[in-house]
Amino acid sequence: MMPATYDRDNYRSHTMTMSGRVVPRRQGPEVNPLSANDSHGSLNSSSRNSKSSPSVNTLVNSDASQHSHSLSANASELDHHASFNSVNSHSTILTTTRRAPLVYPAILSRVADTFRQRINLGVRIKDELTYNDAFTGAEAVDVIAYIIKTTDRNLALLLGRALDAQKFFHDVTYDHRLRDTGNELYQFNELVVDGQSNETNNMGSATVPVNGVFTLLTECYSPTCTRDQLCYSIACPRRLEQQARLNLKPQSVLKRADSRLSLHNDDEKEQKLWINTVSKETADTVSEKEQKRQEVICELIYTERDFVKDLEYLRDFWIKPLRGSNIIPENRREKFIRSVFGLILDVHAVNVKLAEALTKRQQQAPIVRQVGDIMLEHIPKFEPFIRYGAQQVYSKYEFEREKSVNPAFAKFVDETERLKESRKLELNGYLTKPTTRLARYPLLLDAVLKATDENNPDKENLPKARTLVREFLTKVNVESGKAENRLQLMQLNQSLMFRPGEKVDLKLTDENRQIIFKGAFKKRTQDKENQGDVQCYLFDNSLLFVRVKIVNKREQLKVHRKPIPLELLVITESDEAPAKGLAGKRVPTAALIAKTQPTAKETAQNKYPILFQHLGRRGYDLVLYSSTFIGRKKWVENIIRQKQVLIEKADVYTQQILMKGFFDASNRVNCLTPLDGGRKLLYGTDNGIFLSELKTTPTGRVVSKPQIVIKISTITQIDVIEEYNMLLALSDKTLYSWPLDCLESTEPSGNERRSRKIMGHINFYKVGLCLGRILVCTAKSGSMNSTVRVLEPVDPNPRGKRQPALRKLLASQNEGLKVFKEFGIPSEIISISFLTSNLCVGCAKGFEIVSLETLESQSLLDPADTSLDFVIRREALKPMAIYRLHKDFLLNYADFSFFVNRNGWRSRPEWMIHWEGLPQGFSLSYPYLIAFEPNFVEIRHIDTAELVRVITGENIRFLHENTREIVFVYEDENGYDVVVSLDFWEKGKNNATAASGPKTGTVTELSSSSPAK
Q: What is the pLDDT of residues 490-514, one digit of tens each?
A: 988 888 888 888 888 888 988 889 9
Which residues, listed in sequence order, are joined to residue 170 by a DSSP beta bridge? 187
Same domain, 453 and 531: no
Same domain as 403, residue 319:
yes
| Number of domains forming the structure of the chain | 4
* Mean predicted lDDT score pLDDT of the chain: 80
Contact between 848 and 858 under an 8 Å Cβ cutoff? The reply is yes
Burial label for 806, CB within 10 Å (0-12, 13-18, 19+), is exposed
State the pLDDT confidence band at 784, using cuts at 50, 70 and 90: confident
- Gyration radius of the chain's alpha carbons: 39
Taking only the tens place, the pLDDT of each residue in 134-162 is: 999 999 999 999 999 888 899 899 999 99
Distance CA 655, CA 135 (A): 43
Answer whether the bond into residue 384 is a cis peptide, omega within 30°.
no
Q: Write phi, then psi, for 223 (nearest 5 degrees).
A: -70, -20
Residues 469 and 526 in one domain: no
pLDDT, residue 990, reads 57
CATH assignment at residue 613: 2.30.29.30
Cα distances from 592 to residues 626, 634, 638, 644, 765, in angstroms, run: 18, 13, 12, 11, 42
Neighbours of 905 (CB within 10 A): 14
- The per-residue pLDDT for 53 is 35
Domain boundary residue, one of 473, 493, 513:
493
Q: How far apart are CA 775 and CA 768, in angstroms?
A: 6
* Residues 687-742 pLDDT 10s: 999 999 988 888 878 999 999 999 999 999 999 998 898 999 999 999 999 998 88
Any domain includes 628:
yes
Question: What is the spatial distance between Cα 363 and Cα 302, in angstroms, rounded to a whole number?
Answer: 12
The phi and psi torsions of 755 (rounded to 5 degrees) equal: -70, 155
Q: What is the pLDDT of residue 9?
A: 35
pLDDT tier at 941, thresholds 50, 70, 90:
very high
User: Is 810 a domain residue?
Assistant: no
In this predicted structure, what is the pLDDT of residue 735? Answer: 94
- The domain containing residue 339 runs over which residues? 266-493
In a domain, 713, yes or no: no
Residues 261, 258: Cα–Cα separation, whole Å: 9
CATH number, position 223: 1.10.10.10
pLDDT value for 96: 39
Spell out the residues 6+ positions from residue 207 whose beta carbon is closer than 8 angstroms to its own.
112, 116, 168, 188, 189, 190, 191
CATH number at residue 310: 1.20.900.10
The DSSP secondary structure of 242-275, one letter per residue, reads HHHHTTPPPPP-S-------BSS-HHHHHHHSGG
783 close to 764: Cβ distance less than 8 angstroms = no
C-alpha to C-alpha distance for 45 and 31, rounded to whole angstroms: 8
**Counting every residue, how long is the chain?**
1013
In this structure, are 164 and 278 located in the same domain?
no
Confirm whether 801 is domain-assigned.
Answer: no
Q: Is residue 819 part of a domain?
A: no
Cα separation, 1003 vs 888, whole angstroms: 11
CA distances from 667 to 585, 715, 716 (A): 19, 10, 12
Statement to judge: residues 1004 and 978 lie in one domain: yes
Question: Within this chain, do residues 461 and 549 fall inside the same structural domain, yes or no?
Answer: no
- In one-letter notation, the amino acid at residue 504 is V
User: CB of 57 within 8 A of CB of 42?
Assistant: no
Same domain, 24 and 50: yes
Check residue 195 and give its pLDDT.
45
Name the residue among 100, 215, 99, 84 with its Cα closest to residue 154: 84
- Do 273 and 236 fall within a single domain? no
Do 484 and 509 lie in a common domain? no
In whole angstroms, what is the distance from residue 189 CA to residue 192 CA?
10
- Tell me how far apart the terminal alpha carbons of the chain are, to the nearest angstrom: 94
17/55 same-domain check: yes
Is pTM, for the whole model, over 0.85? no
Residues 407 and 524 in one domain: no
161 with 218, same domain: the answer is yes
Domain presence at residue 808: no
Q: DSSP letters along 59-118, please?
A: ---TTHHHHHHHHHHT--EE---SS-----TT--PPPEESPPPSS-TTBHHHHHHHHHHH
180, 210, 245 - which closes a domain: 245
How confident is the model over 335-370, as pLDDT tens digits?
Answer: 999 999 989 999 999 999 999 999 999 999 888 999
Residue 710 lies in a domain: no
The rounded distance, in Å, linking the Cα atoms of 309 and 297 is 19
Beta-bridge partner residues of 786: 781, 825
Domain boundary among 619, 649, 679: 649
Within-domain flag for 668 = no
Q: Residues 812-832: what's their mean pLDDT?
A: 81
688-697 and 680-685 strand pairing: antiparallel
Rounded distance between C-alpha atoms, residue 887 and residue 882, angstroms: 13
